[in-house]
A = this chain, B = another copy of it.
Amino acid sequence: MAPAPDGASALALGIDLGGTKIAAGVVDASGRILGRGHRLTQPQEGWEAVVDRMVAAGEEALAQAGVTAEALAGVGIGSPGPVNPETGVVVEAANLFFKNVPLAEAVAARFDRPTYLDHDARVAALGEYRFGAGQGATHLVFVTVSTGIGAGIIVKGRPHQGAHFAAGELGHTVVMPNGPRCTCGLNGCLEAVASGTAIAKLAREAMARGEAPILAQLAGHDPERVDARLVAEGVRRGDPACRQVLDQATFYLGLALAGVINLIDCDRIVLGGGVAKMGELLFEPVRRTVAASVVATGRQVPIVPAALGSDAGILGAASLALAPLTPGS
């Protein structure tokens, strides 16, 4: 199912399937999104209905781009997982109530085009690799720091899937064996220390102990208003507890990234997700910790912000169906 060699093959439909929203886009070989479509996921209605809405979002994008499905080299899908890219099956996606759903086949039947599926974290990494902040890297790790922490690894243009298609679970690296409890049941996972959820929770606890006076003021003493963005604001205004929480988060995130560099020797790390929007407040201490913790080989591994925002999902999904950047790569 190699993409057709004619000019029309330089278009692909990318579908980013999320727990609440579906975003679709018609993408050309240079990464322009020529048309977009959206639907709510409504997973409680069953997977066949979700496929209907994926197709509807795709048709909306095709209509906006002024093309028909025949013009597509193929369709790419990014889905929560684990997924099996070889069979096109979503093995399990708890937030979608999916279990062994033959998603690629179902979508292929509707557009009658070659259809590819991969895990959303790897798909977003592929988008940044091909069209965003990862361009030019040979070994890219894209780390999303959001409510959770996950990574997508791209080696020479291809997503590293892993033996069980489960690679990239960076968030559950234990960095503080006696640290805060993680949602996974362990203590001290990176996610329990450095995710947006964790940063907010740890700051909220400090506030409850009366240790975060400036944050308390910013939040109007309402714990529910404390999120990672507000903690960052607290740091800027000199709140000691916010500073301590963020120092801890960036230190352990930096240590974990240094471990990634030591182990797989990537040449770029892209950080995305809501927490990465803190900018230098996050990047500066993370870069400092990484520089101090990587095996000295003279290499410099740039750690840069994601460039595509939420479009990484559409662009990466489309990349699955576009011809590879370099023939045979």
Chain A residues with a Cβ under 8 A of chain B: 82, 137-139, 151, 153, 155, 160-170, 172-174, 177, 184, 186, 251, 255, 258-260, 262-267, 292-297, 299
Contact = CB atoms under 8 A, between A and B. Distances in A.
B265 A263 contact: no
Q: Main SS of the interface on chain A?
A: loop
Contacts of A164: 265, 267, 297, 299
A258 B184 CA distance: 14
21 contacts: A153-B263, A153-B264, A161-B265, A162-B265, A163-B265, A163-B299, A164-B265, A165-B265, A168-B263, A170-B263, A172-B295, A173-B258, A173-B259, A173-B263, A174-B255, A174-B259, A174-B293, A177-B255, A184-B296, A186-B293, A264-B264
- Number of identical protomers: 2
| Closest A-B pairs by Cβ, 6 of them | A162-B265, A163-B267, A169-B262, A167-B265, A139-B163, A173-B259
A190 B288 CA distance: 20
B161 A262 contact: no
Contact of A82 (B251, B294, B297): B297
Nearest to A162: B265
Given A138-B163, A167-B263, 16 more contacts: A139-B162, A163-B266, A163-B267, A164-B265, A164-B297, A167-B265, A168-B265, A172-B262, A172-B294, A173-B258, A173-B259, A174-B255, A177-B251, A184-B296, A186-B292, A263-B264
